[in-house]
A and B are shown apart, each in its own frame.
Chain A
């Protein structure tokens, strides 16, 4: 087994042995990455920053789903409904004169409570049966959004306010980007912390061997339900960030296809990996854009004329997404994060990698 600690790196305290980023190099890389991201608005235009914002709020929701599916081993195909609930809840709180920065977290807590209700069957159901129960959550919430005008504004949707802190409005991509970045950092650090403490270990124990987890003093029903609560909290905050970016929330966005996209994010990124959730979200947000620009280049070109593709080019985008998921499942079932580890291991051992 290849250890990722470099030669000569001896930990002399338990504190040094329990850090999130194990080596000096990885800590430096993370800080450098954050610094570069902070400089992004100086370099990128509105379009690119919009993509980064989308990656940010998707990654937060995907991380929630990963805690549920990847770490606790339960399935949910209703995650987009919770994401949507957070978006509407935050807009509603703002209408009740709650300041946006608080409304985002308040929406997270409200969504967590709803998640606990819909997660209650998890205390009894497993596998496919639980999947169907969460599918029911998706449809119930979607129907609720469509009918409860006081909550969602009905089919017309709901308009909301931009993020405002100390009199400063974060209503452009260049500024709102920092808000999303801050939330991403806080929530990802929180998840990494969770996974190295008592309740995080309990969740993984429930996934790996629930019978023996119970014998080790873990209350199965509590942790199975808690996992839904935490996942919904993350979905709710992600949805709220989405709401205060677009400033308009409507029910159509939160359908089952979007739920499946969240599942695709964590499968492609890496089940049971905190960083994998971010990688998967980035992949799923960027892939359609890249395929689109490829299709745009293709349109009207030589290949298009020879093969008479014409309108079919616009289908390429959807097909490429499906193909990417299938290819990932076959060639990299452990996700992008596994590929990333392989690359790191390769450079660590270079040039003696065999």
Chain B
């Protein structure tokens, strides 16, 4: 096992759908307290990687260790209970529930009262437990500045707010590792700035390790501690943001292969 501080270790993970190779022998480790970004062109396998970590897909080969424990055979709900939270690229809120209930669902694995005590509410301690967790959920609501929509039905909110509620729901799990699949997609500049601030606060004040997929290079370069680049399901680079951007393979993956007929000067110009 590698260093004690690794929260997540991905070891030679491959994922195939029939003949399509989504991921090929990808290995990396995320250290405790990091903001780690995965970048790459569309279809590079970034979301597949996150789905393997959260348990949506099971890797064809390789294994995934979370806090030193092999989680590869575990169902997503077990991984969530261990402390892996995530948000989705395409919003996946519970559309007919209020924002508050959506976030309370995130507390699921921390709540103890099952259906019998829930039905008895006042007599089995369910009320006490609900109110205690409500207090903590309100802290998350304050932090993400969504107090004004607490009682709104999640499906009626604007896109930017829904993204924020989804983040709140993932934070409510009290995860030690939070997976963010394109947290800034489709946002305007102001919303992106807010989101970047939330991610930094989560990392620094709430002590969460962040694994993020993001297309906005400015954001990735500014807030990530380390970056990994995927292309066609293979890892082509990993390191500090500036190192990764200087990497020749990364440049060609993003800009395309240098064409013999066109000189680099022309591309830059």
Contact = CB atoms under 8 A, between A and B. Distances in A.
Note whether A and B form a binding pair: yes
A8 interface: no
A226 to B, nearest CB: 7
Contact of A213 (B105, B120, B134, B138): B105
Among A191, A200, A209, the most chain B Cβ lie within 10 Å of the Cβ of A209
Nearest to A15: B131
A217 B108 contact: yes
A212 B169 CA distance: 11
B94 A193 contact: no
B152 A199 contact: no
Interface in A150-200: 190-191, 193-194, 196-200
Contacts of B113: 197-199
Contacts of A202: 105, 108
B130 interface: yes
A218 interface: yes
A199 B54 contact: no
B95 A208 contact: yes
Given A3-B151, A193-B121, A201-B105, A214 B131 contact: no
A217 B130 contact: no
A200 B169 contact: no
B163 to A, nearest CB: 14
A207 B97 CA distance: 11
Nearest to B137: A14
Contacts of B111: 197-198
Interface residues of A, number: 35
Contacts of B109: 217
A272 interface: yes
Contacts of A198: 107-108, 111, 113-114, 118, 126, 130
Contacts of B152: 1
B54 A217 contact: no
A216 B130 contact: no
Contacts of B202: none
Contacts of A266: none
A217 B120 contact: no
Contact of A212 (B55, B94, B138): B94
B115 A218 contact: no
A197 B86 contact: no
B96 interface: yes
A345 interface: no
Interface in B165-181: 169, 173
Interface stretch (B1-9, B73-81, B231-239, B246-254): B73-81
A215 interface: yes
Contacts of A215: 54-56, 76-77, 80, 86, 92
A116 interface: no
Nearest to B96: A208
A217 B135 contact: no
A205 interface: yes
Contacts of A314: none
Contact of A205 (B76, B97, B156): B97
B80 A216 contact: yes
B156 to A, nearest CB: 7
B140 interface: no
A293 interface: no
Contact of B115 (A17, A196, A207, A230): A230
Interface string B119-155: 1110000110011001100100000000000011000
B104 interface: yes
B92 A209 contact: yes
A219 interface: yes
21 contacts: A1-B156, A3-B151, A17-B134, A190-B119, A191-B119, A193-B118, A193-B119, A194-B118, A197-B121, A199-B114, A199-B115, A204-B97, A208-B96, A209-B92, A209-B94, A212-B92, A213-B94, A214-B55, A217-B81, A220-B77, A226-B115
Give the top 3 A-B pairs by smallest Cβ distance, nearest first.
A197-B118, A217-B80, A212-B92
Interface of A: 1, 3, 14-15, 17-18, 190-191, 193-194, 196-202, 204-205, 207-209, 211-220, 226, 230, 272
Given A207-B96, A209-B92, A214-B75, 16 more contacts: A14-B131, A17-B134, A18-B130, A190-B119, A193-B119, A196-B121, A198-B130, A199-B114, A200-B115, A201-B108, A209-B94, A212-B88, A215-B56, A215-B76, A216-B173, A272-B96
Interface of B: 54-56, 75-77, 80-81, 86, 88, 92-97, 101, 104-109, 111, 113-115, 117-121, 126-127, 130-131, 134-135, 138, 151-152, 156, 169, 173
